[in-house]
Every structure is written in C-alpha cells, then in structure tokens.
Structure 1
Amino acid sequence: MLLAALPAARAQDGGAAAGPPEAGTVAAALDQVTIVGSRARNRTVFDSAVPIDRFGAREVENALSSGDLGAALQDLAPSINFPRIESSGAADSVRGIQLRGLAPDQVLVLINGKRRHASAVLDTESSFAGIVPVDVNAIPPGAIDHIEILRDGAGAQYGSDAVAGVINIVLKRARSGGSASISYGAHHTDFEPTDTTKTDGHTTTISADYGFPVGDAGYFRFGAEHRDRNPTNRAGRSDAGWTSWNATPADLALDGQVVFKSGDSEQRNNYAFYNTLLPVAPGIDAYSFATINRRKSDGSAYFRYPGDPANVPEIYPNGYRPTTKGDMTDVSVVAGLRLAAAGWNWDVSARHGGNKFRYGLERSVNASLGTASPTSFHLATFDFDQDALNADLTRELDLGMPVNLALGAEYMHEKYRSSPGDPASYAAGPFSAAPPGAQAGPGLRPQDAFDGSRSVRSVYADIESDITPRLLLGAAARYADYSDFGGARTGKLSARYKFTDTFLLRGSLSNSFRAPALVQTGFRFATLNFNSDGTALQTAALLPASDTLARAFGAQELQPEKSTNLSLGAAWRPQRNTSVTVDAYRIRLRDRITRSSDLQSDAATAYLAGIGRGDIQSVAYLANLLDTTTKGLDVVFNHDLPFAGGKLDLNAALNLNKTRIDEVRQGSAALARIDPSLTLLTDNNLFRIRNASPRSKLVLGADWQGERWSAQARATRFGPLKDFSYDEEAEMIDGVHAQRFGAVWTVDVEAQYRFTPRLTLAVGADNLFDRYPDRVRETNNATYGGALPYNFINPVGLNGAYYYARLRHTF
C-alpha cells in the first residue's frame, strides 16, 4: 500500500557546489523532513519517535562505486548485510539484503514512498532459503537522490514485510540541469589458495540523467544507465581424486587444476527511469515515476568431471562446467494525483510492478539422452505481477493540541506464473544409468507449472500528536484481508519525549503479519546441492507445500508469519554539529517460513524410485518450522567540523545482533512413514540460521570536502562468524561440527578533484588492503577437495580489492 506520501512541498535539488560546504551537515541532516516513520509533513529525523537514517546524494554515489545498490546499502548502514552466494544458480542474478539480521523478505522497500514489488524467483540456496526478496539491484543507481532507512517494525503503518524496517529510495527530482558519468573498475588481488595475482571483475558504467521544468513548479526528470560486469573466480585447485565421481584417468589428469568457480557472475545491466510532477490545476498535482531494468547474468554451476555419470564423453571429453543463464526484466510504474479537498490532503495512485525471470543453461547436457542431447537449455520462466490502487488521506486537526491524522485504503492484485522448460531439459532418455534432465537443472516439467493469483484489501489509520511541546505519541492500526489467507489486524504504538531540545527518549511496540508470498505458494524447481555429509552432490526438488509429493513427505499448508517488535532508544545532540543515537530492539517471529532440509536417505531414495521419481534424490519444501527471537543494539555517532580549509564529517555506527531459536517443528507422521530418522531441519540448517550474519558490525567514516579536493574513507569491521563444517574433526559447537571465522576489517577510500565547478574526477578503492575472510579448514576435504577455500556467508565477500575511477560532468 502507499504508505507515506511525499511532502507537499516541491523540493528542488541544488547544483554542484562550487566551493567548500559550510559546517553543520549533521544538523542539516537531522533537521531534514523524513518521508518514512511519520506522515506528519514537518517531522524531522531527530524529532521522530523511531530511528531513521538518511543518506544524501554524495554518500550514496560514493557507496555505489561497484554499481550494486545492495552492496552500497551494506556500506552505508551497519544494520544491513548483503551476503554473497557462490555457484548458486538463480541467486547469481537475484540477491536480497538483510536488515537487523532478519531474512531479506522481512524488510519493506519503497520508491518515493510507494511499495516495491518482489522478485519472481524464490531464493533456494542461501542462508535464508525459501524467501522471496525485493531485488534492490533492479533499481537504477543513477536515479537515486537519497535513501532513508527506518529501523523499526512498521507493519501497521506500511503493511506486510515491514518486520525489520523500511528502506525508502527517493528518486532525483531537480527541475533543471543534468549529469553524465562514466566509471571503470576492476578487482586486483593476491589470491593465496592458488598463489596467483588476479585482475578480473572489470566493470564499466555509463550513466546520464536530465531534468527540465514543467510549468511554474513541475518537473520531468529522466535518465538511463548501462553497466557491464565481468565475472570473478575465487575457486581453489581441486583434488580430482576426491571431487570426481569415478576417479578415471581422464578425471585424474585434471588434478590440481581450477575447474570449479566461486565468485561474482557476469552481468549486463540496462536501466532507465523517469520522475515527474505536473501541476494540473490550483492545488492539484499529477505525478508519475517509473523504473526499468533488463539484466542478463551468466553464473556457474559445479564442474562435472569426464568420468562423471552426468557427462557424455563424446560431447565433453575433458568434462564441463554448466553456465547458468539469467534473463530478467523488471518494470515498475506509478501514477497518481495529489490534491487538497474538504480539509484533507489526498493522494490517489495506481501502480504496476512486474518481474520476469527466464532461466537457462549453456555448456550443459542431459546425459540420459546420450549424444543426442543438446548443450543449451531453457529451464523455466517465472513471472510475477503486482497491481494496486490506493488512496491516502491526511489532515492536521486542532484539538487543543496539534494532531496529524492519516487514513488509507488499498486494493492489490498479484499474479504468479511459471512456465516449463524445453522438453530436453527434463526428459528421461534411453540411457537409464545416467541422471535424467539437464545438468544444473533439470527444467520445469509441464505438469509442475503454476498459474495463480490473489487479491489483498487493506485499510489503515495512523494518528500522531504532540501532546505537549515535549511529548509525542503515535498510534497506527491496519486490517488486511487476503483472498487466500484470510484477515489480520496489526497495530503500533510509539512515543518520544524530549527532556531538552537536545536530548530525547523514544520507543515503540508493534506487531506485524506477513502472509506467505504468492511465489512461495507456487514455486518449484530442482537444484544440484551437497548431500547431508558434503561428500557428493544430489538433485534436490524444492516443491510447494500443496504438492502431492511434498504432502507425502509431511508438508502442510503454509500459515502467515506473525511478529512483535519492541524498541527503546535515545537521541542526543549536545551541540549543533554533533549527534549520538542509541536504539535497542527485540523482534519475536512466530511460524517463520523456512525451507526444509533436503529430505534424503536410502529409504527416501527407494520411495522416490518406487513412485517413478528417480530423477531426484531428495525432496524439500517450505514450512512454518521456526519461532525465533532477534535482539540487538544500534549506536550511531556523527560530528562535523572545519578542517584544512574545508569541512570534515566524522561518523561511527555499530550494530550488535543475535538470533535465538525458540522452537523447532521437526517432523510429522507422514515423514516418519517414509523414514523415521528424517528431520525437517538438520542441526547444520539450524546452526546457519542462528549464525547467518555477523553478531557485530562497526562502520567508521570520514568525509572531507575542500575547494577543489575532497576525500572519503570508510573502515568496516565485520564481526566474528561461525558456520558448520563438513570436517568431522572440527570443533563441536551447539552440537555440530563448526568453524569459527575471525573478524575482518576492510577499508574503502575515494579522492575527488574538481577541475571545474561541473567536472569532477574520482578515484578510489574498495577493500583497499585486499582482505579476505579466514580460510576454510583444509582437513578432511571441508573445502570440497580444495575447490571452495572460503566460506561464502561472510559479507566481506571473496573478491579482494576493487579499484575504480569515475568522471562526472554536471550541466
């Protein structure tokens, strides 16, 4: 639902500064009117009853050095992580962000205050497998003016998904002028596992935007961007005798070579956007904005050795590594009217969001077809559409005290369709000794395709009042009715008390309701993954809970997730250019939707073979398996001062975060009939859920701006991590073999020189000192025979240092 209308004032962006800025940036940022967190028109970041971060254009541009918005958000906010996945199929194309340690589908993303649609692809293999994230990297980076992050539960205010908080991305809206930029960068790193120096991941970005006035107060801003990113590879040398299936002479001839891949996919992104406001009559404004992203990604699956049963030696005498192909189109369009009538401010709008993902393979084979097999396959198409109509009304009342009242209603309709792959991608051919279906697939079968829809009706009321000049109270309530999951009521209470003009306490209590995403109810696919002890790969079918085979393995109808969020904090501004905020939070999640473990055993394999499903070795599905509690603390410090003829901004931000598992629902009578030893979540799965993100993250930043020169530096400490290990001699932690990974510091720097007031050159480095996480234990082939020397869950990533240059011209 539209949830937080833009301020009525038609803000205009300033041009490039011709000289050093004045001190007082901290005060200016704190006094900015916020779009999220409050519907009161004049509520500032400092005055808000909930913690809000606001990152301006300069901060955002610097953090976007690599072009990934998800990575930029991780750099900007200590409460956000953007974990990378390795050799993971569709996740090479679509990745989600975490806020406060929760799953990526538990943060709501807005554009100009309007809900952003989710992806059409369900995450099947990350630490939060089973979720449907918003693909923030589909938002044009060059379109962003500033970013606001509400770090608080806000389901009653903004609807489902706002469990951990809200990210609002505000598009550029300057009435005149434009900018054009070109940047180039690459990773350059000393890679210890292979004792080589690598230069890869070459990235070129070309971006331009322009605005012109419409009438006396309107504007039309538009732009486009193109980005090419070459892949990276951080795989190690493989022990062919261990990683190959049969250890044939042809397999062993590849011993000690880098045949696997672990790193970023190759991507080609094209973006476009517009943002416009048109005064159509006194007191009536029409507005519209849109974004589009076309992304093609080439990822990588696991290597198949020459003697592997999944190989056809006549086609690949030296083995092969399938290339996963992602072709994604993402479109979002919003249009509406803002007007004042009968004492109310109206915002009536319609929006459409669509995400289509076409999934394919190259350099693969369906070995059961023998030499007749093609080598390229279309595996499936996933298509998600979301359309909505909404109305939001606000007015200020004088009831002896100022009261801001907001009311709203929305009708939303969602559609999700999956289409089958090529017949050869799922065929079981005449060579029964070989696995059927395309390798790194198989494709979606026609009988497994899905076509479903649902509607959601919701209403809300939001009231906020300065009871006294020092006491602010707020309350919000929402009712939503889902055509497939029924109705739910949510609410929120918030308060802020100013002891002085420079010190306040704030807190909130809320509950949220998140119905299963439509994609979660219908998505199915098969992927290649490790078996339970990491000694081999297996084809695992991920099925919807409604599927007959999933029901045979114990699946039950998905239920909505419910959560409660409690926060308490303080904000202090001891002087105009200094601020400190401290906010503690507790988030309780019940009936958390999670992907089950791969249900695989000899008994399960026999059962699958007995019903004619020998094409898969294990079954998984989504279920409400967990209750969890996440506790944490956010601390943010900002200070600016005159320095060396310019202005120096200093900041520090800390996030402490811990997730506890309160309850696990492990089995059912149906599953026990197949194999009583099977459990829905293994100890390894539970261990990763508890430890999927660092328990601490610290960001230290400095930004100096002078007459012609300016410089930025940011040091980030990702705290220690733990993850399960396939090494049976590894330390036992919480009942599983696990490895501890130490904290990692990274340093990012950038320097800019302004040749003219409009032409600026920037050069910089991310991860300047080429830091990597700790190596995975090499004993007992915990690295999969040396192929995967680093654990992928550490947010610092696996690519090493990245160097870049950017030339920007404003006009």
Structure 2
Amino acid sequence: MPRSTLPALPLPLRRSALACAALLAAMPAAQAQDAPSPDAPAVNLAAIDQVTVVGSRARNRTVFDSAVPVDRFGPREVDNALASGDLGAALQELAPSINFPRIESSGAADSVRGIQLRGLAPDQVLVLVNGKRRHASSVLDTESSFAGIVPVDVNAIPPGAIDHIEILRDGAGAQYGSDAVAGVINIVLKKARTGGSASVSYGANHTDFQPTDERKTDGQTVIVNADYGVPLGDNGFLRFGAETRERNPTNRAGRSDAGWTSWNSTPQDLALDGQVLFKSGDSEQRNHYAFYNTQVEIANGVDAYSFATINKRKSDGSAYFRYPGDPSNVPELYPNGYRPTTKGDMTDVSVVAGLRFASGPWNWDLSARHGGNEFHYDLAHSVNASLGAASPTRFHLSTFDYDQNAVNADLTRELDLGIGAPVNLALGAEYVRETYTSSPGDPASYAAGPAIGAPPGAQAGPGLRPQDSFDGSRSVRSVYADIESDLTARLLVGLAARYSDYSDFGNASTGKLSARYKLSDTFLLRGSLSNSFRAPALVQTGFRFSTLNFNSDGTALQTASLLPASDALARAFGAQDLDPEKSTNLSLGAAWRPQRNTNVTVDAYRIKLKDRITRTSDLQSDAATAYLAGIGRSDIQSVAYLANLLDTTTTGLDVVVHHDLPFAGGRLDLNAALNLNKTKVDGVRQSSAALGQIDPELTLLTENNLFRIRNASPRNKLVLSADWQAARWGVQARATRFGELKDFSYDDEAELIDGVHAQRFGAVWTLDLEAQYKLSKQLTLAVGGDNILDRYPQRVRETNNATYGGALPYNFINPIGLNGAYYYGRLRYTF
C-alpha cells in the first residue's frame, strides 16, 4: 500500500496496528524455517474451525463460517490464563474486547466484580454456562465507573470446571434475551467421560512498590482442585470436581499526610503522619467451589442432562481509615484510630436439568434451572460513634438474596423449502420467576445514639433499617423464532425475533438480521443489524444502601444514601420509575483464511443505547443538607438513586490474526488481537422539577461522572500471544498493551479536557510467561508469572492532594490493576 493511503491514526493506534501487521508478515517466513518433526505433537484443529454454540442455533456452524464474530478459547489457553484462579482476570487476558477493572476500598465491590465487553457496562453482557443463562448477583455495584449496575459474578463459576470459552462479540437480544447488548460469553464445562486431574498451585505478588520505596511480597494464593469423569452407559458421562482458593490481601496505599487527611489534625492524628493507614488492593478471599456436569441416555433417543455449580466465598475488604480525633471515632475503643473491615459472605448456586430428544423432524430441548445468590454483608473493627464506648465493634449490615427460577423449551429442525439448502428453524419459549429480598442489619448498625456531634450508624455502613428492607418479585414470559439458511452456495442469511413480557415493565419485541457472503472459500464478508432490550434488573428496583465516599470536590468524606427510584425521599429529589434500556447494534466485518493455518478477521461495530440506567451523582449542597435536616435525615449528607439518564453511542473495531506452524520440534501458535473502542454521550437528562425545588443549582450527573462514562475503559487494547508445544516442553507468552486512559482529577490545576480537570494515564504493556515440563506422562510442572515486568499504571498527580493526601497513589480504573508482578508454580497430575 502506498504510504499516502495509510489512515491517519493516532501514534499509539498506528503502533498497535503495525504490531499486528508485523506478526502476520513474519508468519510465512517463520513457517519456512522448520519442517515438521516426527516428534512434534499433532496439529490441533484451529479455533476458527471449531464448532461454536453461540451466534447460531444451526448445528456444526464453525467460527469461520459464522455470520457474526465469535472467539473460541480452548482448554490450554483457558488453563494458562487462570493462573491466579480469577476468571474475570482470565477473560481480560484472553480477549482484547474484555476489561476487568479492580476497584478497591469499596465495600461490596471488593467481593463482587463485573467484566466489560466492548466498553459497555458489566450488566450489558450476557453470560451463559453450557448455553444456559446465568443468574446475576444480589449486590448492586454502587461505586465503580459504572455505578448502579448488577453484574453476573463470573468469579462464582468454578475455574477448574471450565473446558473452553466462547465469546460472541455482537448484540444478541433477539436470540438470547435481555442483557445481550454488547454480546454473549458462553462458559462450557468439562465433559470427558473418563479420567481425571488434580493440581495444586502456589503464587504471590512480588513487586517494587515505588510510592513507599518497598519491596513487597503479598497476595499469597493457594489453589487446589480435582475433577474426575465416570462413563454412564454407552455414551453418557458424569464429570464432577471441587476446588478451593485462598488469597491473602494486597495493599498498594501510600503514606498519608495526616495534616490533610485527618478531620481536625489533633496531636494524636499528626503523630500518624507518614504512615500507611489506608488500604488499596485486592481483598482477602476464601473460595470453595464444586461442580458436576452429566448426561445419560434414559430411553432410546432420549438424553437427560444436568449440571450445577456452587461457590462459597468469604471476602475481607477495607474502608477508609478513621483518625483518633475524628468525630466518627471513640477514643476509649480506638485510641490510635481504626480502619473498618468490610466482610462479605456469599453463597452462589446454579442448577440446570433437562431432556433432549427427537420427535419426528423436531429436536427438543426441555430444561429447568435455578440460580441463587445470597450475600451477607458485615463489618468488623468498626464503631457506631453515636453509641459511645457502649458501641459494639462488629456489625451485621444487611443480607441480600436474589433467586431466579426458569423453565424453557427449545425446538430445532431443518426445513426443505426448495431453495437448494435446508433452512434451520429454531423456536422457543421461556418462563422466568425472579425474587429479591434485602433484610435489615443489627439495630446498633443504624442506631442514632445519645453522643452529641457523633455520626449515627456503623462506620463503613450504616446498616439497613427495617423500614428500608425490600421484598419483591416479577415474572417474565418470552417466545422467540430463529431461522438461518444458505440461500446460495455463498450467501448465508439469518433472521431472529423475540417477544418478552415483563410483569413490571411491560413488553418488548426485538429482532436481528445477519448475513455472511463468501467471495471465495477463503474470504468472506459478514454483518448484522439488531436491536436489544434490557429491562431494569429486579435488584436495581429495590436495592438501597449508604456508603462513605468523597464529596464533590474530593476534600472530605460524606455519607451518601443510594435509594431505589420508588422511595419517597428519592422522589423528592426527582426520581422517576425506571424504564428499560434500548439498543441498536450494527456490525460489519470480514474473515480471510489465506492458507489452512492462517486466518484474519476484522469487525467494526456501533452500539447505540437509549435510556441507559446509571447512578446519579451524590446530590449534595447546603440547600440539600438543610432539606434533609428539616425532614429528620441529618444522618446522611447526600442522596443518589438510579435513573435513565443517558443516551450513548459506542463505536469500535476488532482485529484478530492467528497462525500456527511447526517450530523447534514442536508446534507454535501465534495470535494477535486488537480492540479499538470509543463511547460518546449523545444526550443527558440533567434536572427535574422536583430537584429544582430543593436546589436549582443541582444536576443529576456532574461533568466528572460523564467524563468517566466516556473514558472508563482504554480506547485501545492489543494482545500478542505465542504458544509452543513439544513432546515434553511447552511455553506460553502473552504481551498486552492497555491503551491510554483519562479520568477526572481532584486537582484544580490539572489539564482541562472537555471542560473537566483530568489526567491522562499513558499506555502500559504487561508480559505474562509460563513454561511447562512433563516430569512423566501423567505429571506436569508449570512455572510462570503474570506481569513479570512488574508494571503499574501511571501514578496520580501528587499536586493539590489529588492522591487524597498521598494515600491513593494510583487510579483504580486502569484494568492492569495495582498489584504488580505475580509469580506462581503449579503441579498437575492426570489419571
């Protein structure tokens, strides 16, 4: 291509694109260097030729033949990415279109974290297990970049149960229902009929932490798992297993300027100057998992199947430090101040059972499922200062419980309509019943005691009051139709439609048109146009909680109460009933396979979202404070609620390159994947008549909040990976580049970007490396490291205390995380 025809991309994007091109250009030359060795392992079927479950209900549809972009990551890739045992982090490592930001010191978000697909919110991606919808969490995310969402807790799925992962990067609401706005992630469980495996691994973060000039070793993690397969009949199987993962916490907080961060700078406060008092890092966790996956023929042509997962998780997070002289302290209990510990105790259960059989030309799949998530939220090392020295130091804040029960029928068949190729027809119906309850905390957790001037309620709480508890339910009925056929030898066309009726939000119809045209056997064009409908989650309609967070200018902390839109106080501040989110998704792409072991895919997308649900800013001002005091709510300083405030457009491009070749007596797989992504805010609802009566100057979303929504994920991300396997040795290497990020700054001297004081955080490369050696046919030793170059995101500006007095030297939204290098060893025995 002449130089004058190159697109005028920004320098970081040009470098990313050139890296992809360089890898592709090097492939034929590398292939010519080595002839296949007789000792080399057999060539695995390329991922692009594997049959996929998502994206099409036609049987034997491969990734390459699909009309929509699908990624498939096999057992070896998944196993390597799961070195730390964290599925969310593994998905981020595998797919450039996925990010997994790690918010710290954030209460419940220390325990439950969601993933982003294509820059959208974590509740705008649908998660399936074995093709069946996964239930969401019972906890609403109150403090991340996408505050107000209810994600699926992917880390509740047993990592050791996973065989492979499929990612559909396309809107699929008409095919799979609500939430499939950005796409679909399908986790496929192991189903081998015989044999088993057991492994034990140990790892830890070992890092040079420059803000405190320390060499830290923490985050010690032990993982033990085992699974086994039992044949049932001629073709049936039972695969089951268990896993335990225990992780120590990490801390990447800096030394605090006590004169700035303390409330009133008492001598006892100032004596703590220069110490690490706050916590920013991963929480302590204890995870226990179990699973089974089974299928058995119970009659001629009738298969019964079932699978289940269970996760029991205990997490200890951290809140902000309270100084000795702070009004929230009781010196008799904490003469040196204290840092409350948030404690999450979660139980997550999913069970699916069904029958598959043929009746005439129809293939039937009848199933029932139950999903439940219960979260007990507690506090330790805290105090209700209004109760004085009589206050307890441990509190139960609330219990949140979400259950989803469903039955569904899926029917497929082939029709001969005389067009030269069969028409694949799929029909289905589903009934879902959801319930959600929240129960109050201990009386001491929300009590307003007699101490004058002391804030009521437990610090890092307060607990949920009895009058604020919630008990709600709803039902959803859906029907769908899906047809797909090769109209000609080159043209594939698919149509899908779904009708859903919600007992609380009315009904909606969605549709999808997809097509793929083969210009040749090795080059095809593809595209889709669809609309999706995401009803507000039941948890979003009933969740309420209060948290301690920064005020609008970052100079102090305040208690903010998040209320459901139906609450009378929220209504006084302008809340209205939530409406469903609506989206349209356009995708255009191409796939090219110049030779059997090389393929390239390019897909562009545009996702328009209307009535996007988000958390308002903390609605706080002198007038709001006076209003709250006037109605007897001086226990809180601000109000927030969920509302349909935004219209956005997200545009992007995905590029994936794959090549495999014989190399050094083994087989080498090379991959490059690039995601470019940008979100634009098209419209904002900023005020209401009710809010104007309290304070005409208040707005529902500050410019800082809008800035983060536009810039909450990297504009570009590049993943380069190489996997070499020989008879006894194996090596995997993965380099990931997270592009530049921007986030608002509390420093009023920071650069003005789009009218907001903000900081640019430069691109960061990470390198992961693992080597395996087969000590015997059954025993394999692996050693490796994630982020072995010990890279961190760019530090927050230190001027004007943008780091909260030095306590928080790093911005949490960067998906590279704050933990530095992680090294591990793993021993696996197969039998």
Normalising by the smaller structure, the TM-score range is: over 0.9
- Contact preservation (8 Å) 1:19, 1:708: no
2:29 is matched with which residue?
none
Aligned amino acid, residue 169 of structure 2: R
| C-alpha separation in 2, matches of 1:749 and 1:34 | 28
Report percent identity of matched pairs.
84
1:393 aligns with 2:411: yes
1:774 is matched with which residue?
794
Pairing 1:107-256 to 2, within 5 Å after superposition: 107-256=125-274
Structure 1 residue 19: deviation in Å? 6.6
1:510 is matched with which residue?
530
2:659 is matched with which residue?
639
Pairing 1:645-724 to 2, within 5 Å after superposition: 645-724=665-744
Aligned amino acid, residue 658 of structure 1: K
1:312 aligns with 2:330: yes
User: What SS is found at the alignment partner of 1:235?
Assistant: coil
Pairing 1:478-489 to 2, within 5 Å after superposition: 478-489=498-509
Structure 1 residue 20: deviation in Å? 4.0
Aligned amino acid, residue 124 of structure 1: T
2:276 is matched with which residue?
258
User: What SS is found at the alignment partner of 1:234?
Assistant: coil
Structure 1 residue 432: deviation in Å? 3.0
Q: What's the CA shift string for 1:4-30, capped at 9, x where partnerless?
A: xxxxxxxxxxxxxx974223x4x5322
1:4 is matched with which residue?
none
1:807 is matched with which residue?
827
1:574 is matched with which residue?
594
1:475 is matched with which residue?
495
Q: Which of 427, 430, 441 is matched with 1:421 structurally?
A: 441
Pairing 1:239-388 to 2, within 5 Å after superposition: 239-388=257-406
Aligned amino acid, residue 457 of structure 1: R
Distance 1:365 1:19, change over 3 A: farther
Q: What's the CA shift string for 1:236-267, capped at 9, x where partnerless?
A: 00000000001000000000000000000000
| C-alpha separation in 1, matches of 2:436 and 2:767 | 42
2:15 is matched with which residue?
none
1:525 aligns with 2:549: no
2:27 is matched with which residue?
none
Pairing 1:533-572 to 2, within 5 Å after superposition: 533-572=553-592
| C-alpha separation in 1, matches of 2:589 and 2:759 | 35
- Contact preservation (8 Å) 2:39, 2:665: no
Q: What's the CA shift string for 1:740-797, capped at 9, x where partnerless?
A: 0000000000000001121100000100000000010000000000000000000000
Aligned amino acid, residue 776 of structure 1: V
Structure 1 residue 303: deviation in Å? 0.1
User: What SS is found at the alignment partner of 1:71?
Assistant: helix
| C-alpha separation in 1, matches of 2:547 and 2:609 | 28
| C-alpha separation in 2, matches of 1:754 and 1:275 | 28
Q: Which of 768, 778, 784 is matched with 2:804 structurally?
A: 784
Q: What's the CA shift string for 1:631-676, capped at 9, x where partnerless?
A: 0000000000000000000000000000000000000111011111
Q: Which of 467, 484, 487 is matched with 1:447 structurally?
A: 467
| C-alpha separation in 1, matches of 2:463 and 2:46 | 54
- Contact preservation (8 Å) 2:791, 2:820: yes
1:5 is matched with which residue?
none
1:3 is matched with which residue?
none
Structure 1 residue 37: deviation in Å? 0.4
Structure 1 residue 342: deviation in Å? 2.3
2:425 is matched with which residue?
405
Structure 1 residue 86: deviation in Å? 1.3
User: What SS is found at the alignment partner of 2:519?
Assistant: strand
| C-alpha separation in 2, matches of 1:472 and 1:63 | 34
Aligned amino acid, residue 67 of structure 1: G
Pairing 1:601-640 to 2, within 5 Å after superposition: 601-640=621-660
Structure 1 residue 502: deviation in Å? 0.6
Q: TM-score, normalised by structure 1?
A: 0.97
1:585 aligns with 2:627: no
| C-alpha separation in 2, matches of 1:317 and 1:393 | 68
- Contact preservation (8 Å) 2:130, 2:188: yes
| C-alpha separation in 1, matches of 2:61 and 2:732 | 30
User: What SS is found at the alignment partner of 1:605?
Assistant: helix
Distance 1:536 1:19, change over 3 A: farther
User: What SS is found at the alignment partner of 1:549?
Assistant: helix
| C-alpha separation in 1, matches of 2:76 and 2:740 | 31
| C-alpha separation in 2, matches of 1:422 and 1:42 | 56
| C-alpha separation in 2, matches of 1:22 and 1:389 | 43
Structure 1 residue 399: deviation in Å? 1.4
Root-mean-square deviation (CA, aligned residues, Å) is 0.7
2:781 is matched with which residue?
761
2:118 is matched with which residue?
100
| C-alpha separation in 2, matches of 1:64 and 1:86 | 21
User: What SS is found at the alignment partner of 2:692?
Assistant: helix
Q: What's the CA shift string for 1:504-542, capped at 9, x where partnerless?
A: 000000000111000000000000100000000000000
| C-alpha separation in 2, matches of 1:183 and 1:689 | 38
Q: Which of 23, 48, 52 is matched with 1:34 structurally?
A: 52
| C-alpha separation in 1, matches of 2:137 and 2:367 | 22
1:12 is matched with which residue?
none
2:10 is matched with which residue?
none
- Contact preservation (8 Å) 2:96, 2:717: yes
User: What SS is found at the alignment partner of 1:456?
Assistant: strand
- Contact preservation (8 Å) 1:752, 1:762: yes
User: What SS is found at the alignment partner of 2:218?
Assistant: strand
Aligned length: 792
| C-alpha separation in 2, matches of 1:393 and 1:229 | 44
| C-alpha separation in 2, matches of 1:565 and 1:284 | 38
- Contact preservation (8 Å) 2:293, 2:307: yes
Structure 1 residue 602: deviation in Å? 0.8
| C-alpha separation in 1, matches of 2:234 and 2:814 | 51
Q: Which of 74, 80, 102 is matched with 1:56 structurally?
A: 74
1:66 is matched with which residue?
84
Structure 1 residue 402: deviation in Å? 1.1
| C-alpha separation in 1, matches of 2:464 and 2:96 | 39
User: What SS is found at the alignment partner of 2:46?
Assistant: helix
Aligned amino acid, residue 647 of structure 2: D
Q: What's the CA shift string for 1:371-418, capped at 9, x where partnerless?
A: 010000000000000000000000011112210000000000000000
1:456 aligns with 2:476: yes
Q: What's the CA shift string for 1:588-607, capped at 9, x where partnerless?
A: 00000000000001111111
